[in-house]
Structure 1
Amino acid sequence: MIESITDSFIQKITRSLKRGKQVHRRLPQGGLIYIDRPLPFLVLFRHPAGQPDHPTADFLKANAAYIISHEERTEELRPLVQSIAKSMADKFGAFMIIELMAAPTSAADVPLFKVLGPQKQLPTTVQAIVKELQGVKLSDIRTSVETGSNEQLLQEPRCLMPEEDLKKHAVLMLGLQLKPVYKNTATGKIYPLLLRTLREKVANAIKKTVFDFVSVQTTHHPVHFQALGRQAVNRVVWRIDKQLTSISDQFRFLLLVTPVNNNEAWAEFKKARFKKQPTFHYRLMPIDADQLKRKLYNISIEKVDDPTLGYLFRDKRHELDKMLTMLADRNSPDFLYSSMQLYGTVDDQLLKVAEGILAALPAPARDVNTDLIPLPEFVAQAEREIAFLKEQYPALDSGVDVRDDVVGLIVSKGRLNVGTDAKIPRHRAQALIQHEVGTHILTYFNGKAQPLHQLYVGSPGYEELQEGLAVLSEWLVGGLDQERMRILAARVVSVYHLTKGCSFVDNFRRLKDAYHFDDETAWDVTMRVHRGGGLTKDAVYLRGLVHLLSYLKEGHELEPLLIGKIRQDYIPIVQELMYRNVLRPVPIKPRYLLDENIKPKLEQLKSGISVFNLL
């Protein structure tokens, strides 16, 4: 920290910016200057004399260029601001300063936002920020926006840059006064959730206003308003990312909630003539859920001042909390309630789609001569597909493990696990390889190629989009048959009845008697849905497919969804981080995006088709 802002300090700051470098320095009295890179704007805040206002100062930390100082330091702050404004105006052709301030808590009937701007100059920029602020929605708080003159910012004692200098160097000075609704006026206590929400919305409004200004007035032409955000990510972000990943890596959730005695339980169920609920056994728990939760909540996510990354980390912490609760409640009735919170339930619309599929598609005639692919041949095909991905991204470190403690196929930590008893029809082999390797392994390593670990660990709720993509890939390579669609629909129906209190035996019998599934298929669906105490995850396959088809019909592209294990509403977050150069382009593409023969199907998706049209 420096004691005063000297001429040599100002020269160093300006020199760094002219060289294209980042500026991050302490100022007197705990002030701060942070400029991510040379940019044609600066956001400013001055603590009122003798009354530090840290909550309002925190609003600035969501921006890529800001100064936090004190009113009593105005005299020495003035040459610093002028030097930055003049040098950046020379570089970009114009410059913009936005000073943030809180309205006095004693003032009655003040608007939520008041924009202070020049009366005659650049009315479009003032209109832009007014429009953006009017779009801010807060529950139980009315959004009101007024405008006024920036005269008070141009007069002593507040003046940082005389009006004639502003005109001479093409600098626009705006003020933004906030009503401090995030503070209790009686006690001074802060409402942290409201503060966080408002801070994020104000930061976006400022970025959109600056985007409007710089696109017209300067030589700087960002591709998107989010490209004006911070590109440099401070060390605390990477530390927290690693801490969350470390906790996630300590357990394999799906393996821990999947029975290890599937064959024995099936034999027991058959012997009881399908009348007695089977007994399932699970892997020994390798973690203490309570201890991991303590570690989880010791991670200081509140130190992340980037709103987007802070949201991402809080979201992941919430999911890990739920997962640990589920593991602690495994094989008990409480397991189901956490599962419903984590994976959701079945709404009426999805149930209608599932029942429609089961009504429209007849039960297939049992074919005892189904051509099953030998396991070694399937493993060889899967390894060839992994090698195809590795050609695009040599760091891909995956493989296939054949295990007797796994049912069917499951990808865990980027490896494909194949159960020794897996029965795979030859005509479904390529579809299953695209499902497991071309989607689950691919997105795991696309996520691993990113600096942010959460993209391979998985954002909360990523399973819906993942399974939707995986099932769609089966259709694209021509392996999504009617039997597979019936099974996906059966999982939805079974999850629905599970959440309504239906027993294992009743769910099994419904699949057999009402929907004519054979014994083994009915068993497999019921076991998956009732495992652990009731796992609603299996509804996400059909739900994800329905939502994905709707998303593609709106004209969106498939490729950005493959950047990692994300959910659909994370796309704006991913796009923002791409604009800010925090994330990198997707390194691996699945075979179906590179195959010319599949392009007509991809075009068909854009024109809009329903689940029923896939067959």
Structure 2
Amino acid sequence: MIESITDSFIRRTTKSLQRGKQVHRRLPDGGLVYIDRPLPFLILFRHPVEKPDHATADFVKATASYIISSQESTDELRPLVQSIAKAMADEFGAFMIIELLASQDSQAPLFKILGPEKQLPATLKVLKEELASIKVSGTSTTVETASNEKLLQEPLCLMQEEELKKHAILILGVELKPVYLRTGTDKVYPLLQRTLRQKIADAIKKTVFDFVQVQSTHKPLHFQALGRHAVKRVVWRIDKQLTSISDQFRFLLLVTPVNNNEAWEEFRKSKYDKTPTFHYRLMPVDTDKLKRDLYNIPIEKVDDPTLAYLFRDKRHELDKMITMLSDRNKPDFLYSSMQLYGGVDAQLLKVAEGILAAIPEPTRDSDAELIPVPEFAALAEQEIAFLRSQYEGVDSGVDVRDDIVGLIVSKGRLNVGTDAKIPRSRAEALIQHEVGTHILTYYNGKAQPLHQLYVGSPGYEELQEGLAVLSEWLVGGLDQDRMRLLAARVVAVHHLTKGSSFVENFWRLKDKYNFTEETAWDVTMRVHRGGGLTKDAVYLRGLVHLLDYLKQGHELEPLLIGKIRQDYIPIVQELIYRKVLRPVPLKPRYLQDESIKPKLEQLKTGISVFNLL
């Protein structure tokens, strides 16, 4: 921290910006100037005299260019702001200063905009509309406008009106009613403050975006491009800590039985009338300690609202997973599973039952040729080599194991059970499912600086499995029996959540829906493993939601940037605009195959799950 803002300090700060560098320096009395890069705007907050307001000061930290100071330091602050504003106005052709103030009037509207409405009605209209769209529970969102004379007169004046006109600089003020503070105190309502910070930051960016498009030479592609490019070291540290927690356990392997074959024989000998006993891998972690480590990660130190949201969201998911591991094989496991993966709503159940009604019997030849596991593993290795030819960072492979049922991708590697029964006609479809989707998105995510994109955002399984199943259809391997299987999983999850036992679910699949004993066993085991895992409903749910997403005109390729869920797309797009994320290095084979393009176009016209049959 410096004792005073000297002429030398001002010159160094301004020259740094003129050279295209970031400015991050302390000011007197705990103040701060942070400017991510040369930008055509500055957000300002000054603490009231003898009454610091740190809660309101936090709002400006969500932006890419701000100064926090105090009203007492206005005389020293004035030449610094003027120097920055004039230099950036010269570079961009115009400059905007927005000062945030906390209203002291209990009868004040939620927001009051201080600005020259007659001179720039369009810019003020954008700000007014964006603030009016912010919804605060229990408070009416009222926005009023008034003159900005208050900011142009002593004691707050930073620049005279003549200078503002001469250099094409606009000064606006936003008075905010401090509803995020408990009445009469400086105690914060943290969740409300966090929500408001994000929404006000977006409103400011949209306002600046409108202003610069008309008034300046700076033409950002999107309002989010006005956000921070630089990421503070604390972000990478927390990203690494969350990844470290996630890397300490392999969730699916830990909740999948290791004695599948023995349990099946036990169940068969009981004439399918006695719930089998499942055994699981020994727990490699102390779940209590892991939770303590998880909540010791100081996510509150991240002042970037978007990245802080990602980290909080991931912490919430890890919390649920660790809880499930501690409750493995206990009744509470199911309730955490429903929180993590959801259940089955009426519409999804209707789709699943519709598929089973449309295809009441197996259609695949029971004598269909099976591909030997070593041959399938070799084909999968070839597809991994295809990915490696695009991006040398692909460090994957295939492991054939006797403690795996079917196929599982874990930590970017494909695990194949020694007894896996894979129809030759389905081999390419399964390779695109496992390698062309799950392994590809793992390494696309790993190519990003943000680890959460390969570890997996909370709820990523739905979109992942939707993409994986769709890839099966694109390469011509999504047959009717596969669709019956996905529908059966949904029905089994539904009845699990309604209290059906293992035996009841098995017989329902066998007798009512005509599945073979082995298939009914496989579906029931997967759904009841660990104490009740609802994850298997995400395959069909993800496919339904993905088809609807593509019908709306969205593209498939951006969804492959990593292990994300569908509503993360705007967040990912924001981080791309901010240059926090990089272009993806890997494309699946089907997106490079000209013969598949007609199918991709068909998806944009809108097709339902039943069209895939």
TM-score range, shorter chain: over 0.9
Report what 1:445 is aligned to: 443
Cα distance in 1 for partners of 2:324, 2:214 equals 54
Q: What is the identity, as a one-letter code, of the residue corresponding to 1:602?
A: L
Matches within 5 A, 1:170-181: 170-181=168-179
> Are residue 75 (structure 1) and residue 66 (structure 2) matched?
no
Which of 563, 581, 585 aligns to 1:565? It is: 563
Matches within 5 A, 1:521-540: 521-540=519-538
Q: What is the identity, as a one-letter code, of the residue corresponding to 1:207?
A: K
Report what 1:479 is aligned to: 477
Matches within 5 A, 1:493-512: 493-512=491-510
Per-residue displacement from partner, 1:339-363 (whole Å, max 9, x unpaired)?
0000000000000000000000131
Per-residue displacement from partner, 1:127-146 (whole Å, max 9, x unpaired)?
11001101111222110000
Which of 420, 423, 429 aligns to 1:422? It is: 420
- 1:108 Cα offset (Å): 2.9
Q: Extract unaligned runs of 5+ from structure 1.
A: none
> Are residue 63 (structure 1) and residue 56 (structure 2) matched?
no
- 1:542 Cα offset (Å): 0.1
Report what 1:153 is aligned to: 151
Cα distance in 1 for partners of 2:376, 2:123 equals 62
Cα distance in 1 for partners of 2:106, 2:360 equals 70
Report what 1:275 is aligned to: 273
Secondary structure class of the residue paired with 1:62: coil
Matches within 5 A, 1:62-141: 62-104=62-104, 107-141=105-139
Cα distance in 2 for partners of 1:525, 1:3 equals 70
Cα distance in 2 for partners of 1:433, 1:365 equals 22
- 1:364 Cα offset (Å): 1.9
Matches within 5 A, 1:237-248: 237-248=235-246
Per-residue displacement from partner, 1:525-554 (whole Å, max 9, x unpaired)?
000000000000000000000000000000
> CA RMSD of the aligned region, Å?
0.7
Report what 2:361 is aligned to: 363
Matches within 5 A, 1:283-302: 283-302=281-300
| Distance 1:484-1:368 versus aligned 2 partners, 3 A rule | closer
Report what 1:47 is aligned to: 47
Q: What is the identity, as a one-letter code, of the residue corresponding to 1:354?
A: A
Moved over 4 A (4+): none
Per-residue displacement from partner, 1:302-327 (whole Å, max 9, x unpaired)?
00000000000000000000000000
Q: What is the identity, as a one-letter code, of the residue corresponding to 1:44?
A: L
Per-residue displacement from partner, 1:430-482 (whole Å, max 9, x unpaired)?
00000000000000000000000000000000000000000000000000000
Please tell me whether the aligned partners of residues 363 and 480 of structure 2 are also in contact (alpha carbons under 8 angstroms): no
Q: TM-score, normalised by structure 2?
A: 0.99
Report what 1:317 is aligned to: 315
Cα distance in 2 for partners of 1:546, 1:271 equals 39
Cα distance in 2 for partners of 1:79, 1:39 equals 18
Cα distance in 2 for partners of 1:87, 1:393 equals 43
Secondary structure class of the residue paired with 1:397: coil
Cα distance in 2 for partners of 1:573, 1:587 equals 19
- 1:507 Cα offset (Å): 0.2
Cα distance in 2 for partners of 1:539, 1:108 equals 50
Cα distance in 2 for partners of 1:331, 1:464 equals 24
- 1:109 Cα offset (Å): 1.4
- 1:157 Cα offset (Å): 1.2
Cα distance in 1 for partners of 2:364, 2:379 equals 27
Report what 2:461 is aligned to: 463
Q: What is the identity, as a one-letter code, of the residue corresponding to 2:103?
A: A
Per-residue displacement from partner, 1:191-215 (whole Å, max 9, x unpaired)?
0000000010000000000000001
Cα distance in 2 for partners of 1:528, 1:108 equals 58
Report what 2:29 is aligned to: 29
- 1:239 Cα offset (Å): 0.2
- 1:506 Cα offset (Å): 0.2
- 1:368 Cα offset (Å): 4.1
Per-residue displacement from partner, 1:383-439 (whole Å, max 9, x unpaired)?
000000000000110000000000000000000000000010000000000000000
Cα distance in 1 for partners of 2:595, 2:574 equals 33
Please tell me whether the aligned partners of residues 406 and 416 of structure 2 are also in contact (alpha carbons under 8 angstroms): yes
Secondary structure class of the residue paired with 2:42: strand
Cα distance in 1 for partners of 2:141, 2:555 equals 35
- 1:126 Cα offset (Å): 1.1
Secondary structure class of the residue paired with 2:24: strand
Cα distance in 2 for partners of 1:56, 1:355 equals 53
Secondary structure class of the residue paired with 1:139: coil
Q: TM-score, normalised by structure 1?
A: 0.99
Which of 370, 377, 380 aligns to 1:379? It is: 377
Cα distance in 1 for partners of 2:234, 2:379 equals 43
Cα distance in 2 for partners of 1:266, 1:575 equals 47
